[in-house]
Amino acid sequence: MSIYIRVTLLLATLLFINGCGTTPAPAPKPQQVTYNGFIVHLPSGDTVHKEDLLDKLVDSQVIYLGEKHDNPYQHQSQLEIVERLIKRGKRPAIGFEFFSQEQTGWLMNYTLGYKSLMVPVMEKRVEGYLRKKLGWQGRNDWKFYAPLIELARKHKLPVFGADLPKGTKVRLTRTGLAKMSSLEKSLIFSTGFSDDKYRLAMHKRLSQSHCGTARGDFLERLYQTWLARNDAMAKSIVEMRKEMDDEPIVVLLGLAHVQNNMGVYDRVAHLDPTIRQVNLGFREMLPEEHSHDDEETKPEHPDHNYLWFTPPTPGQKGGDPCAQFRKVHKK
């Protein structure tokens, strides 16, 4: 039985025992278990309490928090993790996939610079200035990442962007590495790490995420861009580690970038095998018909070191995400 099925069955059993079934068993002091706090260690399938998880995280040098970008429950849990690390005496650096490497200066200046002596209304303008420099004006998802940035500012923690610049990503996707200029190529870092199993798995995932429209050269360009982004993030992490002594680096990035302990995870290990990494993935617990797990192409690695289950994104609809796309293109 696969770990995914075992974890789901284990979760369903615990939820039923703790009062989520139609006829819950009586108990003098019922303890409700919700899947927003349900954490599983992989590949054993054992449940883990938050404090026990923190015991593991606090001794790690790089902590990946693999997210679904628009899920507020996952962002709240990420904030809680960083807060708990700080309470345990740690001073983590925080890296973001959503910001690029060249934006690091703006982030560092905001969190490590001298706090303004101006009144609060002027302080708000300082935040607005940061958003403008990051290109995040008017973006509703700022609310997901701003609390962590403000927490870093409060405690004067380093914050860095890990990804490639947007323009570089666009060029890679549209032209491919071979047709880029020498100057553009010089800005792209390669770890030199290669894995045929990962290539096959990612080709299938990228094709599925584009509803089957990504084929041939376009699919390969998507994969080149994906690898270049993983390499860039790995480089950012390894470079930041040089400044951190034994303090941890917490990295917020999309779940797929570290799935199966691959992607960014194994590239960091390739660059510096001595770095102690832990991979915590946040997974939405959806009804079965909403699940898109594909076990046929998954390499023989656990999905993550730990999975933290959360409710789905509010307002999220189930069903086939490509159904509307196919409907439109049949016309």
Q: What percent of the chain has pLDDT over 90?
A: 67
At 324 the pLDDT is 66
Q: What is the mean pLDDT of residues 32-41?
A: 69
Residue 113's pLDDT band, with cuts at 50, 70 and 90, is confident
Select 53-330's CATH number: 3.40.50.11550, 3.40.50.80, 3.30.70.20, 3.40.50.300: 3.40.50.11550
Q: Has residue 182 got a pLDDT over 70? A: yes
Write the CB contacts of 136 (distance below 8 Å, at least 6 apart in sequence): 142
Q: What is the mean pLDDT of residues 126-139?
A: 93
Q: Has residue 232 got a pLDDT over 50? A: yes
Q: Has residue 265 got a pLDDT over 70? A: yes
At 36 the pLDDT is 63
Distance in angstroms (rounded) separating the CA atoms of residues 222 and 211: 14
At 322 the pLDDT is 79
**CA-based nearest residue to 250, from 168, 133, 152:** 152
CA Rg value for the chain: 21
Write the CB contacts of 154 (distance below 8 Å, at least 6 apart in sequence): none
DSSP reduced 3-state for 240: helix
Torsions phi, psi for 172 (to 5 deg) = -60, -45
pTM for the full predicted model: 0.83
